[in-house]
Amino acid sequence: MNILAQIAADVATGVQTLYGQETPAEKVALSPTRKEFEGDYTVVVFPYTKAAKKKPVDIGEDLGKYLITNSTNIVAYNVINGFLNLSIAPSYWTNLLEEIAVNENYGKKPANGRKIMVEYSSPNTNKPLHLGHIRNILLGWSSAKIYEAAGYEVIKVQIVNDRGIAICRSMLAWERFGNGETPESSGIKGDHFVGKYYVKFNTEFVKEYEEWQHTEEAKSVYAAKKKENQDETAFFKAYKNDYFNEYSFLGRDAKEMLVKWEANDPEVRTLWKKMNGWVLAGFDKTYESLGVVFDKLYFESDTYLLGKELIEKGLKEEVLFKDGKRVWTDLSNIGMQQKTILKSDGTSTYTSQDLGTAQMRYNDYQAERVIYVVGDEQISHFQGVFEILKRLKEPYADGLYHLAYGMVDLPTGRMKSREGTVVDADDLVAEVIGAAKADAIERGEIVDMPKAEQEDTFRKIGLGALKYFILKVNSKKRMVFNPEESVETQGNTGPYIQYAYVRCSGVARKAPEINMATSVDYTDLQAPEKELILKIFQYPAAIEDAAKEYDPSVLAAFSYDLARAYNKFYHDINILKSESESAMAFRLKLSAVVARTLASSMDLLGIEMPARM
RNA sequence: GGUCCCAUAGCUCAGCUGGAUAGAGCAGCUCACUUCUAAUGAGCAGGCCUCAGGUUCGAAUCCUGAUGGGAUCACCA
C-alpha cells in the first residue's frame, strides 16, 4: 500500500473511531498541499461536520492528533479552516527514493497476460501522409507504449486503404500522362510520386469539366437541374461530383478501371500492385523517420468483401433486415437513422467492411480490447459499427473503443488540399530537424561530437519538439498547429524536458560513479529535493491515468512538471559542491532517478533523449 | 431537425473522482551566468473560468437551459 492509500485508510478509521461515521477510504479527500502552506498532503474535513457536530477546525485538530499517534509516517500537522495539512517524515521520502532507485522498471506494471490491439495511421494509398496523419500516428504509437507499460501485450496494426476510386484516378493519370516515369527515374519518393499523379488527374479533370461547361449538353443540364436563383457558377460548382459520375470521360475511365480491378483484370491488377508498392515504400520511410512500426498490416483489398458471415447471422437473428439485395438496420436508439450495410446491388460498404475486419482481427489475435485511432469525424460511424456488433452479441464487441482525436488546424484555419495548405509529413519532419540543427549549431555546445552523433542529436531534438507539441494537447480536442511554436525549444516544450535530462547526464559524467543499491544516510531533505521525490512518486499514477483516459497528454504534463522540478533543484543546489559526501551521494542518486524517469515517460510518448545538446 | 464534442490570461494549453487566493508556456516588462551547459532560474503584469439558473458547507469542475464554434446523421471511404 502506498502512502496515500495508507493515509486515506487511517483517516477513515479515525473518523470511524472519533465520530462513529462509516467512511470508505476512497471517499477521503486527499490532495497535495498547496505550496503556500506547511505540509505534504491535505485532508479536507468538511465532509465530517455532520457526524462530528463540531466546527471544521476542531475536527482537523481531532484528526491531526489521531493521525500523529495512529498513522506511521505522519510527523506533524496544522489546521487551516477545514483543511488538515499533514507532514510526512522526511525519512519516508528518502527511503522511497532508495526503493525506486533499485527498481529499473519503476512506474511500469508487470505483464498481465492480456492483449490489446491498437489500430492507427490507416492511410489511403493515393497520396503522401500529412500533418493529420502525424497526430494519428503519434497518438497510436504512444497509446501502444502506454498500454505496454500498463502490463498489456499490444498488437499494433494498420489498415491500408489500398483500393477504390481514388487509387484508380492516380493509376489512370499515370497510365495516360506518365510516359513510364517511375520514382527511381524521377528521384521522387514513391508516395509523393503517386500523389503527383493523383493531383494530375484532378487538374485534367477540372480542365475537362470547364470545357464541358461550354457545351450544349451542359447548358441543357443546367437548365433542367438548376435550383431557383442559382447562377451557372454556383450550379457547376455543386454539380462536380455528378458530372464525374455521369458525363466525364476521365470519370468514366476511372470507374471502368475500378470495375476491371474488381473483376481481377490482370493488367489493371499489375499496375495497381506496382503503384501501391511505390506508395507503401514511401510510407515506410515516413514511419521510419517518425520511429514507429507495426506488427501487422491489413489491406482493404483483402478485407473489403468480408462481413458476409456476420450479415447472414444478423439476418437470421433479425438484427439486420433485407430489401431486395440491400441490407440495413435501424440505429435510432443511438440517435442515428437507417444504416445501409450492403447496397441494393449487393456490394459492400464501409460498414460491412468494418464488421468483417473486426471479426477477422478477433480471429487472428483474440485481443480483449481494440483501440481504433481514427479522427472524430467518424464518431457516428464507429458508434454504428460497435452497436451492430453488440446486437450480434459478438464476444469482442464490448472491448472496441474509438479513440477519436480532433482535427489539426493551422493558425490560418483548416488545412485544405484544394488551397494547398496541407502540411506534408515528410516536409514537416525535415523542417523540425533542420530547425533543431540550426539552433544547436548556433549554440555550439556539441560541435566536438562525431558528425553522425550530431545528426542523431539534431533528429532527437527536432522530433522531440514536434512530437511533444502535438502530444501535449488532450487527444480528443481539436488543436492548432503553429509551425513556429512547434520548433520552439524553451518553455513547455520537448527540448526543455530533454535539456533537464541532459543536465542529469552532465552531472553524472562529472561526478564519481554511484551505486544505486548502496543506501545513503541523508535526512536533511531540502524543499526542491522533496518536491522532486514527490513528483517521481506520481509517475505510476500518471501511467495508470493515461491508460485509463486513453490520453498521452497526461504523460506529457507529467514529464514537463518533473523536468521543471529538476531545473529548479539544479538551479538552487549545486550537486557537485554539496556540503557533505552523503548529501552529494543522495543528490546524484536523485538525479539519476530523475533521468531514468524522464527518459521512461518521454519514451511512452515516442520521444528519445539526447545525452548532450 | 436529431445526436455528439468544444468554450479558462492577448495567444497556445493544464486544471484528477467538487475543496484553500484558478495554473503553466509564449508574447510584454524586470532581475540573475568567473558557477554541475542560462535550451535555465526568480519576479512583475495579465482572469465576470461564454452567459443564466440549480444541487452543495463549498462549483472552472456536477445538473438544466441559452449563446457562439465544430463534427455527424449517405446505397462515400
Nearest nt to the CA of A484 via C1' is: B26
| Burial class (CB within 10 angstroms; exposed 0-12, middle 13-18, buried 19+) of A572 | exposed
* Å between CA of A34 and C1' of B22: 13
What is the residue-wise DSSP string for A148-184? Answer: HHTT-EEEEEEEEB--SHHHHHHHHHHHHH-TT--HH
Determine the pLDDT at residue A540: 96
Mean per-residue pLDDT for A496-512? 96
Q: Which residue would you say has higher pLDDT here, A501 or A332? A: A501
Closest nucleotide C1' to the C-alpha of A482: B12
Q: What pLDDT band is residue A179 in, cutting at 50, 70 and 90? A: very high
Please provide the distance, in angstroms rounded to a whole number, between the alpha carbons at the two ends of chain A: 40
Residue nearest to nucleotide B56 (CA to C1'): A47
Burial A438-475, CB ≥16 within 10 A → b, else e: ebbeeeeebeebeeeebeebbbbbbbbbbbbbbbbbbb
Q: Quickly give A100 CA vs B30 C1' distance in Å.
A: 41
**pLDDT-based confidence at A230, cuts 50/70/90?**
confident
In this prediction the pTM is: 0.95
ipTM beyond 0.90? yes
Biggest distance spanned by C-alpha atoms of chain A:
97
> For B13, which residue's CA is nearest its C1'?
A473
Separation between the CA of A381 and the C1’ of B15 (whole angstroms): 32
Closest residue, by C-alpha, to the C1' of B38: A571
Over residues A236-251, the mean pLDDT reads 87
**Cα–Cα distance list, A359 to A312, A329, A364 (Å):** 14, 19, 9
**Three-state secondary-structure class, residue A120:** coil
Per-residue confidence (pLDDT) for residue A413, from 0 to 100: 87
- Around Cβ A77, how many Cβ atoms within 10 Å? 21
Binned at pLDDT 50, 70 and 90, residue A416 comes out as confident
- What's the CA angle centered on A25, arms A21 and A27, to 5 degrees? 80
Name the nt closest to A503 by C-alpha to C1'. B37
Position A225 pLDDT exceeds 90: no
* CA atom of A552 to C1′ atom of B49, Å: 24
Q: Which residue has the higher pLDDT, A240 or A14?
A: A14
State the nearest residue by CA to the C1' of B18: A29
pLDDT in tens, A256-303: 999 999 999 999 999 999 999 999 999 999 999 999 999 999 999 999
Please give the angle made by the CA atoms of A172, A175 and A181, to the nearest 5 degrees.
130
What mean pLDDT is reported for chain A? 93
Distance between the alpha carbon (CA) of A479 and the C1' atom of B13, Å: 10
CB atoms within 10 A of CB A251: 22
pLDDT class for A82, splitting at 50, 70, 90? confident
| Strand nucleotide closest to residue A324 (CA to C1') | B75
Domains and CATH numbers, chain A: 3-88 (3.30.1360.70), 164-290 (no CATH)
User: Is residue A425 pLDDT above 90, yes or no?
Assistant: yes
For B71, which residue's CA is nearest its C1'?
A377
Q: Which residues contact A408 (CB under 8 A, 6 or more apart)?
A: A131, A132, A134, A135, A415, A470, A478, A479, A480, A481
pLDDT confidence tier of residue A336, bands split at 50, 70 and 90: confident
Q: Nearest nt to A508, CA vs C1'?
A: B36
pLDDT in tens, A541-578: 999 999 999 999 999 999 999 999 999 999 999 999 99
Q: Round to a whole number and report the distance in Å from the CA of A372 to the C1' of B51.
A: 37
> CA A455, CA A449: separation in Å to the nearest integer?
10
Nucleotide closest in space to A560 (CA vs C1') = B24
User: Do the beta carbons of residue A560 and residue A492 sit within 8 Å?
Assistant: yes
Give the CA A477 to C1' B68 distance in Å: 17
Retrieve residue A535's grid coordinates: 513528483
Alpha helices in A178-299 (DSSP H): 183-186, 190-212, 216-225, 232-238, 240-246, 249-262, 266-290
A246 vs A563, more confident = A563
A375-CA/B53-C1' distance, Å: 35
Pick out the nucleotide with least CA–C1' distance to A436. B39
Nearest nt by C1' to A342 Cα = B75
Lowest mean pLDDT, pick from A209-213, A336-340, A607-611: A336-340
Query: What band does A223 get if pLDDT is binned at 50, 70 and 90?
Result: confident
pLDDT score recorded for residue A492:
97
CB A240 within 8 A of CB A206: no
Task: Give the pLDDT band of residue A458 (cuts 50, 70, 90).
Answer: very high
What are A116-155's pLDDT values in tens digits? 999 999 999 999 999 999 999 999 999 999 999 999 999 9
CA distances (Å), origin A288, targets A173, A281, A291, A432, A495: 29, 11, 5, 16, 21
CA–C1' nearest nucleotide, residue A491: B25
Q: Provide the CA A350 to C1' B73 distance, Å, integer.
A: 16
pLDDT band at A446 (very low <50, low <70, confident <90, very high): very high
- Cα dihedral sign, A245-A250-A256-A262: negative
Distance CA A160, CA A272 (A): 14
Instruction: Summarize pLDDT for A534-543 with one digit per residue, the tens.
Output: 999 999 999 9
**Which helix (H) or strand (E) is A118 found in, with range?**
strand A115-119
Average pLDDT, integer, range A73-83: 92
User: Chain B: nucleotides under 7 Å from a protein CB?
Assistant: 2-6, 11-17, 19-21, 24-27, 35-42, 57-58, 70-77
Q: Which amino acid, one-letter code, is at A564?
A: R
Nearest residue by alpha-carbon distance to C1' of B17: A27
Please tell me what DSSP assigns to residue A403.
Answer: E
Reported confidence tier of residue A418, pLDDT bands at 50, 70, 90: confident
CA of A471 to C1' of B39 (A): 20
Q: Distance in angstroms, CA of A444 to C1' of B18? A: 51
β-bridge mates for residue A579, sequence order = none
Nucleotide nearest to A611 (CA to C1'): B37
Amino acid at A137: I
CA–C1' gap, A58 and B58, in angstroms: 18
What angle do helix axes A581-603 and A553-572 make, rounded to 10 degrees? 160
